[in-house]
Amino acid sequence: MVRLPPRLVVAGTSSGVGKTTVATGLMAALVGRGLTVGAAKVGPDFIDPGYHALATGRPGRNLDAWICGPEAVPALAGRAGAAADVLVVEGVMGLFDGSGDPAGPDASTAEVANLIGAPIVLVVDGAAVGASVAAMVHGFATFDPAVRVAGVILNRVGSDSHEALLRSAVAVTGAPVLGALRRSPDYAWRDRHLGLVPVVEHPHQVRESIDALAAAVARDCDLDAILTVARSAPGTTVPSPPAARRQGSAVVAVAGGPAFSFAYPDNLELLAEAGAELVPFDPLVDPRLPAGATGLYAGGGFPEVFAAGLAANGALLADVRRRVAGGLVTWAECGGLLWLARSLDGHTLAGVLPADGHMTDRLTLGYRRARVRAASPLGPAGTELRGHEFHYSALDPAGDALDWSGRAGAGRSGFATPSLLASYVHLHLGSAPAPAEQFVATCAGPEAARS
């Protein structure tokens, strides 16, 4: 059992109001005060936790009530806040926006805040609003009596007079204004088709932006009042998340670098607990897989941005093709799936999978319930998995390894053999270590993959 530290959730009225800017800047400003800050993100996002990790020097974790289940969220929050003076959680979309799944869970920021007993700091975009901000804040503060909006941070404020107008309007709601950040290009992080550009692609530029943002938050927000909000969260003891049981010893090559930066820390930690030695490699530059690898984990990322560079590394692609054909145990998700395909938009890739990828103008997005139709390294035929898809690409043929369903429909896709599972579905195993155990057990077994 562990005790949750003082904590708060940075929520927004909608997507795009500056939650990541405020949350990351607040984390960095509190670190600048000498505090140890835990960080988490509501939902399945990979990119925002990378900014949190750079700001705090600790893993950026995820609290996803749909994938992991509501009952697991307090334990995962305990892991995110372990040995921290304060835990700052960034919300997803608007405060009450959730999965839209009538079978639940809702998985909204409001639900997660309630599950961990955290007060809300509401971020309001002040760029194009005046006195109407009062109605907005009042609505969010009173919509659900179970949710406690403990304060407001105004973002993208235009001037001193604009700030005074907004503060005066919010005052009638009774919600304290905890800070007001000005519009500034210094805080602008480059966007791409799936959101912010991952930290790994421009770490020095992002570091400079975070430092500037931390200084602005320290100057323009009341950190003492914000810490008082965090300390108002009730003292709560929660169980530790389930650990993986050791399954033997295996060396697992983990794709990384700029093209493959999407991997949940919980997944990697569970693989290590199960007995895997995790050896990172960069598919853009390394000429072959790490020596002695009996497993390959290729998560998501942006192979479409780096397709030419990935295709140019012919030596590694040939090694991967040979090793997987020889029994190398493989788990690939989304970007990793595309990398294992024959091609992506005409660029020749690994050719492990009998399919070709191409980018589209259609976003595929949503939670997925999946059932694996054939035995794979993550479990026998019939294994039930829960995860999330978020991509603009398509694979032809799509494969038939998974029967999946989501809010907007159902389908069949992915590839599976006893030594390989490759699909678009990102899995978070924080509450379900069995697939990690099975993967390591499979890696530890076959001698054919050792070379």
Q: What is the residue-wise DSSP string for 296-346?
A: EEE-BS-TTTTHHHHHH-HHHHHHHHHHHHTT-EEEEETHHHHHHSSEETT
- If asked whether residues 226 and 267 sit together in one domain, one would say no
For residues 239 and 75, is the Cβ–Cβ distance under 8 A? Answer: yes
Longest dimension (CA), the chain: 71
Asked, for residue 29, whether it belongs to a domain, the answer is yes
Beta-carbon neighbour count of residue 369 at 10 Å? 18
- If asked whether residues 330 and 415 sit together in one domain, one would say yes
Residues 6+ away with beta carbon under 8 Å from 431: 68, 69, 71, 72, 75, 76, 241, 242
Distance CA 120, CA 448 (A): 53
Write out the H or E segment, with its range, that includes residue 443. Answer: helix 434-444
Residue 150 burial (C-beta neighbours within 10 Å; 0-12, 13-18, 19+) = buried
For residues 350 and 313, is the Cβ–Cβ distance under 8 A? Answer: no
- If asked whether residues 318 and 189 sit together in one domain, one would say no
Of 68, 221, 334, 443, which residue is the catalytic one?
Answer: 334
Choose among 394, 380, 391, 393: nearest CA to 435.
380
Asked, for residue 90, whether it belongs to a domain, the answer is yes
Per DSSP, the three-state class of 104 is coil
Angle at 123 between CA 83 and CA 128, to 5 degrees: 160
Asked, for residue 260, whether it belongs to a domain, the answer is yes
pLDDT on residue 209: 87
Tell me how far CA of residue 183 lies from CA of 14, 40, 187, in angstroms. 18, 25, 8
- If asked whether residues 195 and 271 sit together in one domain, one would say no
Distance CA 422, CA 187 (A): 37
Asked, for residue 243, whether it belongs to a domain, the answer is no
Distance CA 335, CA 142 (A): 42
Distance CA 5, CA 3 (A): 6
- Domain-ending residue, one of 188, 213, 238: 238
Domain harbouring 366, CATH code:
3.40.50.880
- Domain-ending residue, one of 217, 238, 259: 238
Asked, for residue 244, whether it belongs to a domain, the answer is no
For every one of its 451 residues, what pLDDT tens digit does the chain have, with 9 covering 90 and above? 999 999 999 999 999 999 999 999 999 999 999 999 999 999 999 999 999 999 999 999 999 999 999 999 999 999 999 999 999 999 999 999 999 998 889 999 999 999 999 999 999 999 989 999 999 999 999 999 999 999 999 999 999 999 999 999 999 999 999 999 998 876 665 554 444 677 776 777 888 889 999 999 999 999 999 999 999 999 999 999 999 999 999 999 999 999 999 999 999 999 999 999 999 999 999 999 999 999 999 999 999 999 999 999 999 999 999 999 999 999 999 999 999 999 999 999 999 999 999 999 999 999 999 999 999 999 999 999 999 999 999 999 999 999 999 998 999 999 999 999 999 999 999 999 999 999 999 999 854 344 4
- If asked whether residues 298 and 257 sit together in one domain, one would say yes
Asked, for residue 451, whether it belongs to a domain, the answer is no
Asked, for residue 217, whether it belongs to a domain, the answer is yes
- If asked whether residues 174 and 257 sit together in one domain, one would say no
Domain harbouring 174, CATH code:
3.40.50.300
- If asked whether residues 365 and 334 sit together in one domain, one would say yes
Distance CA 43, CA 25 (A): 20
CA 305, 308, 309, 314 torsion: positive or negative?
positive
Per DSSP, the three-state class of 382 is coil
- If asked whether residues 355 and 218 sit together in one domain, one would say no
Structurally, how many domains does the chain consist of? Answer: 2
- If asked whether residues 261 and 407 sit together in one domain, one would say yes
Structural domain harbouring 72: 2-238
- If asked whether residues 166 and 231 sit together in one domain, one would say yes
- Domain-ending residue, one of 215, 238, 261: 238
Whether 68 sits among the annotated catalytic residues: the reply is no
- If asked whether residues 174 and 83 sit together in one domain, one would say yes
Asked, for residue 280, whether it belongs to a domain, the answer is yes
- If asked whether residues 214 and 323 sit together in one domain, one would say no
What ranges in 127-186 are assigned the alpha helix state H?
133-142, 160-171
What ranges in 200-277 are assigned the alpha helix state H?
203-220, 223-231, 265-273
